């Protein structure tokens, strides 16, 4: 019969071998397919972040699988033999320290890595609140995202505050989304852009992303917000600067007659239930 020490060494060896086989597959095969794709620089770095998460969890997963497989094969009771309890274990200092040390190192590494990534990417596509800690340098193109049960609308403060039912963005620009809500808590999730920001009533939640080439992207509400939450989706477009100029000019003409009913552009809105358009 093997000693418990040689069991430990065998499981450790299986973990190392398994990790050596699986790690390259994780990095080179699975990694490039991690969400949300490479639609924007922020989305690309989320792919990298997801790959790093997988890499960190691979040795732990391999240890658990190696242990399971080893136990299934080696600790199996011989046929016909009665199942009896092993000797009671009262702690194992070395393995406890090893487990605490490796998991602590992994969690600390991820905390530092995650914080660095958040700061480097100006919030990494997430909402940074009304005054984000990390802001992009240079000019930004502001777009307000207004969530309500159950749709998103968009206002362009640099184009007279016109409000549209579809989201169109110019290519190659640093966008600043100002996300807010008129009622419940929603979440503005523009998948291929790598943007997800909570939409809270009374709050101006800012999320940054730099657009790339013309493309389309999916928009969904990512916070359960009532009966038709599941239908709160939309398709957005990134278009060339010239196409954007044409589109926004057409929207301004189209909505000119109704602009007088819109509240003045503001960081957030408190709906007035007594208001009657007259």
Interface residues toward Cu ion, by CB under 5 A: 186, 221, 225, 232
Per the CB < 8 A criterion, the answer to whether 238 and 231 are in contact is no
Q: How far is the CB of 126 from Cu ion (least distance, A)?
A: 17
Which residues make Cβ contacts (< 8 Å) with residue 191, sequence separation at least 6? 35, 36, 217, 218, 219, 220
CB of 187 to Cu ion, least distance (A): 7
Question: Between 66 and 221, whose beta carbon lies closer to Cu ion?
Answer: 221
On the 0-12 / 13-18 / 19+ scale of CB atoms within 10 A, 256 is exposed
The residue of the chain with the least Cβ separation from Cu ion equals 225
Choose between 190 and 225: whose C-beta lies nearer to Cu ion: 225
Question: Minimum distance between the CB of residue 121 and Cu ion, rounded to whole angstroms?
Answer: 25
CB of 155 to Cu ion, least distance (A): 18
Work out how close the CB of 21 gets to Cu ion at its nearest, in angstroms, rounded to a whole number: 43
In the complex, the smallest distance separating the C-beta of residue 162 from Cu ion, rounded to whole angstroms, is: 23
- What does the alpha-carbon distance between residue 5 and residue 8 come to, in Å, rounded to a whole number? 5
- 233 conformational bin, left if phi > 0, alpha if psi -120 to 50, beta if neither: beta
| Residue of 233, 235, 262 lying closest to 157 (CA atoms) | 262
Q: Which CB sits closer to Cu ion, 217 or 244?
A: 217
Q: In the structure encoding, which two tokens stand for residue 115, read together?
A: 């914080």
Phi then psi dihedrals of residue 234, to 5 deg: -165, 160
SS3 sequence of 8-29: HHHHHHHHHHHHHHHHHHHHHH
Q: Which is nearer to Cu ion, 155 or 186 (CB)?
A: 186
66/203 with CB nearer Cu ion:
203
Least Å from the CB of residue 221 to Cu ion:
3
Looking at beta carbons only, is 183 or 204 nearer to Cu ion?
A: 183
Spatial contact of 122 and 41, defined as CB atoms under 8 Å apart: no
> Which of residues 122 and 187 has its CB atom nearest to Cu ion in the complex?
187
- Cα separations (Å) of 60 from 115, 119, 198? 22, 28, 32
């Amino acid at each position: 019969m093997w000693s418990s020490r040689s069991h430990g060494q065998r499981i450790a060896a299986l973990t190392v071998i398994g990790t050596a086989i699986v790690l390259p597959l994780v990095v080179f095969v699975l990694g490039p397919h991690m969400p949300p794709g490479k639609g924007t620089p922020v989305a690309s770095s989320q792919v990298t972040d997801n790959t790093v998460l997988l890499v960190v969890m691979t040795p732990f997963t391999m240890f658990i699988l190696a242990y399971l497989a080893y136990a299934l094969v080696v600790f199996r009771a011989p046929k016909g033999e009665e199942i009896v309890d092993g000797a009671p274990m009262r702690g194992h200092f070395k393995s406890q320290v090893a487990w605490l040390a490796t998991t602590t190192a992994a969690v600390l590494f991820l905390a530092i890595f995650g914080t660095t990534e958040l700061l480097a990417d100006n919030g990494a596509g997430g909402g940074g609140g009304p005054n984000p800690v990390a802001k992009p340098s240079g000019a930004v193109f502001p777009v307000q995202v207004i969530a309500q049960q159950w749709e998103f609308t968009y206002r362009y403060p640099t184009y007279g505050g016109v409000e549209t039912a579809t989201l169109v963005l110019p290519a190659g620009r640093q966008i600043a989304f100002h996300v807010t809500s008129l009622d419940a808590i929603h979440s503005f999730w523009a998948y291929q852009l790598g943007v997800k920001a909570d939409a809270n009533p009374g709050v101006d939640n800012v999320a940054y992303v730099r657009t790339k080439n013309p493309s389309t992207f999916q928009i969904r509400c990512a916070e359960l917000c009532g009966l038709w939450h599941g239908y709160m989706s939309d398709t957005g477009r990134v278009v060339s600067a010239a196409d954007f100029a044409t589109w926004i000019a057409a929207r301004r003409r189209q909505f000119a007659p109704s602009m007088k009913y819109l509240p003045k552009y503001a960081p957030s809105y408190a709906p007035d239930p007594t208001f009657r358009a007259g």
